[in-house]
Amino acid sequence: MNKKIVVLAAVLLAFSLAGWGCAEKAAEKVAEKAIEDSAGGDVDVDIDSDDDSATIEFTDNNTNSTMTIGATELPDNWPTDVPEYQGEVVATSSVNDTYFTASWLIDESVDSVYDYYQAELVNQGWEIATTWTIGNVKSLTATKDNRTVGLTVGLNEEDDQTSYTINVSTDEE
């Protein structure tokens, strides 16, 4: 059976059990075990039926990379010179020794988010290397020392929300 189907089924089962009032911890353990067996890493699932939230944190045992889905804030070691758009909640984040990424879905215009980051990155000492726009999507890359930031901002036309992702990578010297 396809591993992706097993993982998806486990996650859906866990959320369903939690939604039906079954013990949240039991639902979390079912999802964790299925994902760990399928993906080969350490998984922590946290379901909170009080506020209808859920997070899944996966740590790859081979690369020591961590990915959090349903995160509400940036990782503790997020670079301080890469700004955060005020008041927004992180949807997903991923981090390892040389790479950070985070994604958001917000009720702001593409231009507002893009303009903010373009100005703030420059204020933090980053040099804008490339920019491009295609339809409702804007992107830029900026460099500083041995690091590169990538920003992609786009409009989700189905729900009229803006999504954006920031990637920060470090070139090993």
Query: pTM for this structure?
Result: 0.66
Q: pLDDT, tens digit, for every residue of 61-97?
A: 666 666 666 656 777 788 999 998 875 666 777 777 7
pLDDT value at residue 105: 84
pLDDT value at residue 56: 64
Pairing of strands 99-106, 66-69: unpaired
In sequence order, the 6+-apart residues with CB closer than 8 A to the CB of 92 are 67, 68, 69, 70, 71, 101, 102, 103
- CA–CA distance, 160 with 44 (Å, rounded to integer): 32
Q: Six-digit token pair at 94?
A: 């991923």
- Binned at pLDDT 50, 70 and 90, residue 9 comes out as very low
Q: What is the mean pLDDT of residues 39-61?
A: 59
User: What domains appear along the chain, each with residue ranges and CATH number?
Assistant: 1-62 (no CATH), 73-173 (3.30.310)
pLDDT value at residue 18: 45
| 49-58, 103-112, 163-172: segment of lowest average pLDDT | 49-58
Q: Are 127 and 144 in contact (CB under 8 A)?
A: yes
pLDDT value at residue 171: 85
Q: pLDDT, tens digit, for every residue of 89-136?
A: 667 777 777 888 888 888 999 999 999 999 999 999 999 999 999 999
- CA–CA distance, 88 with 90 (Å, rounded to integer): 7
pLDDT value at 53 more than 70: no
- CA–CA distance, 24 with 29 (Å, rounded to integer): 9
